[in-house]
Amino acid sequence: MSGLGGLNKSPNGVVLGLVQLQLPNVATKEDLNAQTDKIVSMVKKARNNMPSMDLVVFPEYSLHGASMDTNPEIMCSLDGPEVAAFKRACLDNKIWGCFSIMEMNPDGNPYNSGIIIDDRGKIQLYYRKMHPWVPVEPWEPGNIGIPICDGPNGSKLALIICHDGMFPEMARESAYKGANIILRTAGYTAPIRHAWHITNQANAFCNLAYTASVCMAGTDGTFNSMGEGMIVNFDGQPIVTGNGIPDEIITAEVRPDLCDEARRLWGVENNIYQFGHRGFVAVKDGAQDCPYTYMRDLIEGRYALQWESAVVVTDGTGCGFALPNRRYESARKQP
């Protein structure tokens, strides 16, 4: 049930708007300023389009485009003018917003970051993309984990970005930390369409969580992004699916209270609970060990595939990036 896209909002509902934003070309500071203004205008469009909307979600690359340009002139910071403009837009239009920035990193390559701003203009969630789409993307891997924030009307929000959603552990971590709505922003192109659909559905079903996901749309003359906004129920059934029309806003109502109820009451297929309580019919409270070799190896710093030595693409040189000479620092650093 989508409540006719949110037109008929229930008392416990959260109306989401996913913006299939036109893919821009951004090469200069002037381009960045113009695209900031475009996003601000789309926040206003979202509010005028759907007065009941609680949260408007913009795709990855909505501010910078898909060129992978790391020019410091067009990188952003949390205290910069672009984020300030997004804060004002949320405050002025009394709406929550999810935005994408390429964030300056004085210690290395920029971060691909996302923020959620509330309807008072305050940042409630800040996330750095954990899994850049290698070997195509040059971004520094995120080092602050997956944060969760309280959202509108009983929702608990997580944000993962694009390729993150291909790893089931990302959605599981989001739900494990309490998220009942998992946002996924992306810039994907058409070859990823099938994987996009099945992972958004699987991430919802496996974790009893709503997933709300959106890509950029249209072409910048080089790349074609696919749009494909979709909101999936916590049972894995799509509620609404979008198209490839640039600047169209896909909307639906979701019910966090029903998601939370399912997590409490479901027996069959309450998978996120059963994952840590294996076979509870046979043994009290279920088995709570970690039988997964890859998890133990990752913790111990010895993750290695059986075919590790045969993997061909292990850096970005094939996509024109320099060979890195710096190791990742695993200690988490809050900005």
Catalytic residue from among 76, 98, 149, 162: 162
Contact 215, 61 (CB under 8 A): no
Q: Judging by DSSP bridges, how do beta strands 181-186 and 156-161 pair with one another? A: parallel
Catalytic annotation present for 162? yes
Angle between helices 29-49 and 81-93 (to 10 degrees): 10
Going edge to edge, which strands form the sheet with 111-117?
A: 123-128, 111-117, 96-103, 55-57, 14-20, 248-254
Q: Establish whether 333 is a catalytic residue.
A: no
| 3-state SS assignment for residue 75 | coil
Distances (CA, A) of 36 to 26, 48, 164: 11, 19, 25
Helix (H) or strand (E) holding 32: helix 29-49
Residue 178, both tokens: 């309490």
**4 burial level (CB within 10 Å; 0-12, 13-18, 19+):** exposed
**Tokens representing 189?**
């192109």
How far does Cα 166 stand from its chain's mean position? 11
For residue 319, count other CB atoms closer than 10 A to its CB.
13
CA distances from 275 to 244, 288, 302 (A): 37, 8, 24
Please tell me which residue in 87, 129, 140, 259 is annotated as part of the active site.
129
319 noted as active-site residue: no
DSSP code of 99?
E
Catalytic positions, please?
A: 60, 129, 162
